[in-house]
């Protein structure tokens, strides 16, 4: 393994892991390093970090095989609880979306819908599928808004898992819905449902949307109960 120029300061800090810019085999990369949790027993902490590193590596690879646009996994070092992934040059969709032209916005969120449908069809939920975990890689506007394209990647599988549950998949959709406008969510959902049907995925889009409605109804009930309590 040829890893060099690993930054001392993290590019991003997370609850479970930090990201460090580096070079790996001559290319720009990011080292995702899971840090120790002082409140856990050392042996348990080591076991949990190792198992989570293995799971995330497997899910990233499976997602890529399913046609989901994800960063390339370059190396997994389980003893060090590290993943080395190819660095993407772009901006988080949460920051990039609003300034885009309407056609580019629609194109971007449609790609998000397609990507998430493919992920779910592969039996994987993301766990934090907001616009903060999609990255806009490049923008090309060839001939006006009608032909605008925007390459979008799904990133950070730190909370992802394996499932066949409509509840898990619907929670991903709920999180995305909360991060965009109602108009853009309609575009997202149309793309999701189309890809879900194309892949003949189970549970189907109708079931997932029904579960989404149930989740939102439970949320409204909790809010009303707290307000009245």
CATH of the domain at 134: 1.10.510.10
Q: Do residues 95 and 195 both lie within one domain?
A: yes
Known catalytic residues? 128
Give the model confidence (pLDDT) of 124-171 as tens digits.
999 999 999 999 986 554 444 555 577 899 999 999 999 999 999 999
User: Any idea what the CATH number is for the domain that residue 49 is in?
Assistant: 3.30.200.20
Q: Do residues 98 and 153 both lie within one domain?
A: yes
The domain tally of the chain equals 2
Q: Looking at 30, 56, 86, which one is the last position of a domain?
A: 86
Q: Do residues 142 and 201 both lie within one domain?
A: yes
Q: Do residues 55 and 113 both lie within one domain?
A: no
Q: Do residues 165 and 185 both lie within one domain?
A: yes
Q: Do residues 40 and 142 both lie within one domain?
A: no
Residue 224's pLDDT band (cuts 50, 70, 90): very low
Distance CA 171, CA 167 (A): 6
CA distances from 131 to 49, 97, 109, 134 (A): 26, 9, 9, 5
The b/e string for 209-219 (b: 16+ C-beta within 10 A; e otherwise) is: bebbeeeeeee
Q: Do residues 124 and 76 both lie within one domain?
A: no
Q: Do residues 23 and 131 both lie within one domain?
A: no
Q: Looking at 35, 61, 86, which one is the last position of a domain?
A: 86
Distance CA 170, CA 178 (A): 12
- Quick one: average pLDDT of 86-91? 92
Q: Looking at 67, 86, 105, which one is the last position of a domain?
A: 86
Give the model confidence (pLDDT) of 173-202 as tens digits.
999 999 999 999 999 999 999 999 999 999
Any idea what DSSP says for residue 193? H
Token pair 């660095």 in the structure block, residue: 87
The set of residues, in sequence order, having a beta carbon less than 8 Å from that of 88 and lying 6+ positions away, is 71, 135, 137, 153, 155
Q: Which domain holds residue 45?
A: 3-86
Question: How much is the pLDDT for 221?
Answer: 43
Residue 227's pLDDT band (cuts 50, 70, 90): very low
Looking at the predicted structure, is the pLDDT value of residue 63 above 60? yes
Distance CA 36, CA 16 (A): 8
Q: Do residues 115 and 145 both lie within one domain?
A: yes
**Overall pTM surpassing 0.85 (yes/no):** yes
29 in Cβ contact with 23 (< 8 Å): yes
Distance CA 141, CA 149 (A): 6
- Quick one: average pLDDT of 23-49? 92
């Amino acid at each position: 393994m040829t890893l060099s120029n690993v930054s001392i300061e993290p590019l991003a800090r997370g609850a479970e892991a930090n990201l460090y810019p580096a070079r790996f085999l001559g290319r720009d990369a990011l080292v995702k390093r899971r840090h120790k949790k002082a409140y856990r027993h050392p042996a348990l902490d080591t076991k949990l970090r190792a198992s989570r590193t293995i799971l995330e590596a497997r899910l990233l690879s499976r997602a890529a095989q399913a046609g989901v646009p994800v960063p390339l996994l370059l190396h997994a070092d389980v003893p060090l609880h590290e993943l080395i992934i190819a660095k993407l040059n772009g901006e988080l969709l949460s920051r990039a979306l609003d300034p885009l032209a309407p056609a580019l916005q629609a194109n971007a969120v449609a790609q998000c819908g397609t990507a998430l449908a493919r992920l779910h069809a592969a039996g994987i939920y993301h766990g934090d599928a907001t616009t903060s975990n999609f990255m806009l890689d490049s923008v090309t506007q060839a001939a006006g808004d009608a032909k605008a394209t925007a390459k979008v990647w799904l990133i950070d599988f730190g909370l992802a898992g394996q499932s066949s549950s409509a509840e898990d998949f619907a929670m991903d959709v709920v999180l995305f819905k909360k991060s965009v406008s109602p108009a853009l969510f309609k575009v997202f959902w149309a793309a999701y449902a189309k890809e879900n049907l194309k892949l003949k995925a189970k549970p189907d889009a109708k079931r997932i949307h029904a579960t989404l409605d149930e989740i939102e109804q439970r949320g409204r009930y909790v809010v009303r109960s707290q307000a009245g309590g």
